[in-house]
Amino acid sequence: MADKTFSNQELLRVLPISPGIALGPVRLLDSQETPREGQSVDSQILPDQLASERQRLQQTLSAAEAELDELHERVVRTVGQAEAEIFTAQKLMLRDPDLLDAVDELMGRQFFSAESAWSMSIKQQSELLASLPDDTLAARAVDVRDMGARVLSHLQQTRPGATNSQQSVETRQESALIVARDLTPSQTARLDPTSILGICTVEGGPTTHAAIIARALEIPAVAGLDARVLAELRNGQQLAIDGGRGLVYLQLDEKQCTELSAAMAEQHRKKSARDTAYWCQRPGETADGQPVFIYANVGDAAGAREAAQQGAQGIGLLRTEFLFGQRTVFPDEQEQFESYLELFRAFAAEALFHKSIVARTLDAGADKPFPALEPLLGEWKEANPALGLRGARIHLLHAELLRQQLRALLRAAGEAEIDLQIMFPMITTVEETRRMKHVLEQVRAELRSEGVTQPRSVPVGIMIETPAAVWLADALAREVDFFSIGANDLFQYTLAADRTNSRVMGLFAGLEPALWRSINHVLQAARIHEIPVAVCGEIAADTRYGPLLAGLGIDELSVSPPALARVKEALHQHDLSYWQSKAQSLLQAETAAEMEPLL
Amino acid sequence: MPVVENTVIITNKVGLHARPATLFVQEAAHFQAQIQVRNGDKSANAKSILGVLKLGASQGTTLQLRAEGEDAAEAIQALISLVERKFDEE
C-alpha cells in the first residue's frame, strides 16, 4: 500500500487503523522477537542442573501467568471483555501440555537451557500455526510469539548472573509516537494512552487485536509503513500521522505543524471532556454496582457550583472557614446566613444527585490565624498550635460563636431547601461531643419557638481526626449519626509527624499501616452502631487508595471537585469483592514497604 | 478405564477459532480423562489450545471425540453440549 518511491517524499499513504491525528517525537520500539544481546540461542546445561532449570521454568511460567491476568484485567477495564479474551487464550497457550512436553523433552533429553528449549518450541509452534491455510488461525501465531516472548524475557531475567536491563514500553513515559515493525497485543494493551500520541507500524492491519485495542483506547494508528522508511527513522525525530486518512507526514512545514497541533489539541480536549462528562453523570459505584457515595470538599460558593457541575453526589465537607479567614471583625448571623444561602443555592441549582450538604463548624486553630478571633482569645501565639486551642475547643470556650453559626446554617438550609448535616471538628472526648450536640439542640428549639424555617431533621456527625477519637469510636458512635475521618489530620496525629515538615514526612510513604488500621478500627465501631463513615482528605482523592477505602467499608469519599470524575472511574474498575480482598491484604501489612506492592 | 467415543458437528459460524477454542479447552481441562479430538487425519489433545487450533475445524466439520478415564462419559457429554450450544455465542 505504501508508495514505492519514498525518498524525498513528504507524505506517505498507508493503512488507516485508528482515527485521529498524532504529531510528536518518534520512539522506535524494538520488536520483542529480536534476540537479546549476549543470549546464545542454543545454550546447554549440565545434567545436574536439570532440576533447578525445570524449577526456574515453573517459576517463570507462574510469573508470566500473573502478568497475563493483570493484562486481562486491564483490558477488561479500559477496553472490554471481548478484547480481553485474547489474554485468556494466551494463558492457555502458556500452560499448553503439548508445548510444555516439547520444552521438557528438549531440556531433559538434550540438555538445552530453559531459554533455548523454550525459544525452539515457541518457534516451532508459531510456525506451525502460521502455516495454516485459514488466516484467522494463522494470525494466532502472533499470540504464541507474544506469550513466548513474555516468558523468555522472564527467563532471561532470572538467569543466574543476569543483569536487569529490560527496556519496556511501560517504563518510558515521555509523550511520543510509537514506531515499530509490529506491535503484539500485549504491547498495545500496555500502552498508556496518556503518553502514547500515536502508533505507526510496518506490519498489521485493521482487524488485528492490536488495532482493536488502539481504537478502543482512542490512540491514532496507521500500519503499512514501508520497512525502508522505518530503517531511516531516528528516535526523537518529529513525525505526524493521520490515522483516519492513513497518512504519514515525514517532513512537516510550519503551516502543517500548526494545523496538526491544533487538530490534536482539539481531539484531546473533546476526549477529556467526554470522559469527564460521562463520569459526572454517573453515581459512584463499583463495577458490580455497589454504591459508594462520592461527595465534594467545598470552601466557597464557586467551589459549590463546580462540585455540582462535576457530578458531586453531595457536599461531604463544607469548610466554613472561608467566611472568617481574613476578617478582623467576626461576621454576624445575618451576614453568615446570606453567605451560606448563596452557597447552598449555588450547589442546589446544578446538583445532579442529592442536595445534601455536610457543614463543618468553624475549624479554627493557631496554625491558620483568624484575626477576627483575636479580640476574644487574645494574642494567639502557641508553642504547639497543632496541640493547642482549635476546633471544638474554641466552640466550647465561646459557645456564642457556635450558636451564631448554627443559627445561620440552619436558617439558610431551611430557606434553600437542602438537606443539611452538621459536623463538629477536632473531637477528642465524649463530653465535648455531648456539649456540642446540646448547643445544637438548644439552637433548634430556639428557632422553632421563633417560628423560623429550618430543616426537619439535621443529622449530626463528628470528624475523627485524633487517636483519642479512634479509640473512643464505639462510645462516640452512640452519640452521633455519622463519622467523617479527616485523614490528613489523623495521619499527622497518629504518626506524630507534621505533614508540612518535609524532614519528618519524608520518613513516611504516605499511607502507613498505623493509619490504615486506625481507619479500620473506626469502621468496626461504626458498623456495630450502624452509622455511615466518610473519609475526606488527600487519600480519598488518590485513585490508588480511594477504592481501597471503599473495599474496607467506607460509605462515602469526599474529594476536591476536579477529582470527582477520576475517583468514580477508578472505583468502577473492579467489583466490590476485589476491593475488599485488596483492602484486607493491606490490613495484614506491617510495613509501608509491604503495602506498596499491594496497591 | 472406561473409554467413550462420539462425534459432533461444528455449527457455529467461526468454527473452532479463538474464543470457541479457548472455551473448548477450558471445558476439557475440567476432567481427569485423557481426551483426543480428531478432524479427519489431524488429531489433538483436547486440553491443548495449540493442538485444537491446529485442527483448523471450521463450520460443518465433524469432530471425533475419544475420552479415556473415570469421567470419560461426562467429559464427552460436556464437550458435545458446548459445541451444540454453539459455545453460547449465537
- The per-residue pLDDT for range A310-359, each reduced to its tens digit, is 999 999 999 998 888 777 888 999 999 999 999 999 999 999 898 999 99
Q: Which residue type sits at B16? A: L
Task: Single out the catalytic residue among A72, A200, A536, A572.
Answer: A536
Which chain B residue has its CA at the smallest distance from A98's CA? B48
Distance from CA of A45 to the nearest CA of B (A): 28
Distance CA A351, CA A345 (A): 10
Q: Cα dist. A12→A253, A262, A392, A438, B3 in Å?
A: 15, 21, 70, 78, 62
Per-residue pLDDT band for A213 (boundaries 50, 70, 90) equals: confident
Count CB atoms within 10 A of the CB of residue A382: 13
Q: pLDDT tens digits, residue range A43-54?
A: 888 888 899 999
Only one residue has cell 510444555, namely: A100
Q: What's the rounded mean pLDDT across residues A150-156?
A: 88
Residue A74 vs residue A94, higher pLDDT: A94
Residue A89 touches partner B, C-beta closer than 8 Å: yes
Report phi then psi at B3, rounded to 5.
Answer: -120, 130
Q: Is the dihedral of CA A173, A175, A177, A183 positive or negative?
A: positive
Closest to B3 measured CA to CA, from B47, B36, B30: B36
Q: pLDDT tens digits, residue range A127-145?
A: 998 888 887 788 788 889 8
Question: A78-87, A333-342, A417-426, A524-533 — which is least confidently predicted?
Answer: A78-87
Distance CA A195, CA A155 (A): 29
Tell how strand A238-242 and strand A21-29 pair up: antiparallel
Report phi then psi at A331, rounded to 5.
Answer: -65, 140
Question: With an 8 Å Cβ cutoff, are B56 and A140 in contact?
Answer: no
Burial class (CB in 10 A: 0-12, 13-18, 19+), A471: middle
Q: pLDDT tens digits, residue range A92-127?
A: 999 999 999 999 999 999 999 999 999 999 999 999
Residue A504 has pLDDT above 80, yes or no: no
Backbone φ/ψ region at A168: left (φ over 0), alpha (ψ -120 to 50), beta: beta
Of the spans A30-34, A464-468, A508-512, which averages the highest pLDDT? Answer: A464-468
Residue A34 touches partner B, C-beta closer than 8 Å: no
Q: Cα dist. A529→A390, A450, A471, A549, A595 in Å?
A: 28, 34, 15, 19, 30
Per-residue pLDDT band for A37 (boundaries 50, 70, 90) equals: very low
Residue A129 touches partner B, C-beta closer than 8 Å: yes
Distance CA A276, CA A561 (A): 12
What's chain A's average pLDDT?
87
Q: Is the dihedral of CA B49, B53, B55, B61 positive or negative?
A: positive
Q: What's the rounded mean pLDDT across residues B63-75?
A: 95
Which chain A residue has its CA at the smallest distance from B20's CA? A89
Distance from CA of B40 to the nearest CA of A (A): 15
Distance from CA of A132 to the nearest CA of B (A): 7
- Are A568 and A294 in contact by the 8 Å Cβ rule? The answer is yes
Task: List, in sequence order, the alpha helices (H) in A472-512.
Answer: 473-479, 487-495, 502-505
Question: With an 8 Å Cβ cutoff, are A93 and B50 in contact?
Answer: yes
- Are A83 and A209 in contact by the 8 Å Cβ rule? The answer is yes
Burial class (CB in 10 A: 0-12, 13-18, 19+), A412: buried
- Are A137 and B53 in contact by the 8 Å Cβ rule? The answer is yes
Residue A363 has pLDDT above 70, yes or no: yes
Question: With an 8 Å Cβ cutoff, are A96 and B50 in contact?
Answer: yes
Q: Which residues of B touch A (CB under 8 A)?
A: 14, 17-19, 21-22, 25-26, 44-45, 47-51, 53-54, 56, 58
Residues in chain B with CB shorter than 8 Å from the CB of A125 are 50
**For the sheet containing A15-18, what is the strand order?**
A11-13, A247-249, A238-242, A21-29, A176-180, A196-201, A221-223, A15-18
Rg (CA), chain B: 12
Residue A167 has pLDDT above 50, yes or no: no
Question: With an 8 Å Cβ cutoff, are A129 and B54 in contact?
Answer: yes
Per-residue pLDDT band for B1 (boundaries 50, 70, 90) equals: confident
Residue A436 has pLDDT above 80, yes or no: yes
Distance from CA of B75 to the nearest CA of A (A): 18
Question: With an 8 Å Cβ cutoff, are B54 and A140 in contact?
Answer: no
Distance CA A309, CA B31 (A): 55
- Are B69 and B34 in contact by the 8 Å Cβ rule? The answer is yes
Residue A286 has pLDDT above 60, yes or no: yes
A130-155 core/surface letters (b: 16 or more CB in 10 A; e: else): eebeeeebbbbbbbbbbbbbbbbbbb
Per-residue pLDDT, A92: 94
Q: Maximum Cα–Cα distance for chain A, whole Å?
A: 97
State the DSSP code for A454. Answer: -
Distance CA A586, CA A549 (A): 10
Distance CA A437, CA A371 (A): 27
- Are A320 and A280 in contact by the 8 Å Cβ rule? The answer is no
Q: What's the rounded mean pLDDT across residues B11-40?
A: 91
Q: Is B30 among the catalytic positions?
A: no
Residue A217 vs residue A312, higher pLDDT: A312
Residues in chain B with CB shorter than 8 Å from the CB of A134 are 17, 56, 58
Distance CA A83, CA A595 (A): 31
Note the pTM of the prediction, 2 decimals: 0.59
Q: Cα dist. A487→A121, A140, A479, A560 in Å?
A: 54, 50, 21, 14
Residue A100 touches partner B, C-beta closer than 8 Å: no
Residues in chain B with CB shorter than 8 Å from the CB of A97 are 45, 47-48
End-to-end CA gap in chain B: 36
Residue A150 vs residue A445, higher pLDDT: A445
Residue A173 has pLDDT above 70, yes or no: no
Closest to A480 measured CA to CA, from A564, A421, A550, A566: A421
What value, to the nearest 5°, has the Cα angle with vertex A401 and ends A400 and A405?
Answer: 115
Question: With an 8 Å Cβ cutoff, are B48 and A96 in contact?
Answer: yes
Report phi then psi at A487, rounded to 5.
Answer: -65, -35
3-state helix, strand, coil in chain B (%, to 5): 35, 25, 35
Helix (H, G, I), strand (E, B) or coil at A360: strand
Question: With an 8 Å Cβ cutoff, are A98 and B58 in contact?
Answer: no
* Half-sphere exposure (Cβ direction) of A100: Cα atoms closer than 13 Å: 17
Closest to A137 (Cβ–Cβ): which among B25, B45, B53?
Answer: B53
Q: Which residue type sits at A300? A: D
Distance from CA of B61 to the nearest CA of A (A): 14
Report phi then psi at A445, rounded to 5.
Answer: -65, -40
Q: Maximum Cα–Cα distance for chain B, whole Å?
A: 36
Per-residue pLDDT, A169: 41
Among A92, A95, A128, A207, the strongest candidate for a mutation testing the B interface, having the largest count of B CBs within 10 A, is A92
Q: pLDDT tens digits, residue range A540-595?
A: 988 889 999 999 999 999 999 988 998 999 999 889 999 999 999 999 999 888 88
Question: A32-36, A144-148, A409-413, A421-425 — which is least confidently predicted?
Answer: A32-36
Q: Is A536 among the catalytic positions?
A: yes
Spacing of C-alpha A475 from chain mean position: 35
Question: With an 8 Å Cβ cutoff, are B19 and A128 in contact?
Answer: no
Burial class (CB in 10 A: 0-12, 13-18, 19+), A543: middle
3-state secondary structure A387-398: HCCCCHHHHHHC
Residues in chain A with CB shorter than 8 Å from the CB of B53 are 129, 132, 137, 140
Residue A533 has pLDDT above 60, yes or no: yes
What value, to the nearest 5°, has the Cα angle with vertex B56 and ends B51 and B57?
Answer: 105
As given in the structure block, the three cell numbers for residue A542 are 488518590
Per-residue pLDDT band for A170 (boundaries 50, 70, 90) equals: very low
Task: Single out the catalytic residue among B17, B23, B73, B74.
Answer: B17
Of the spans A53-57, A551-555, B50-54, which averages the highest pLDDT? Answer: A551-555
**ipTM reported for the complex, 2 dp:** 0.92
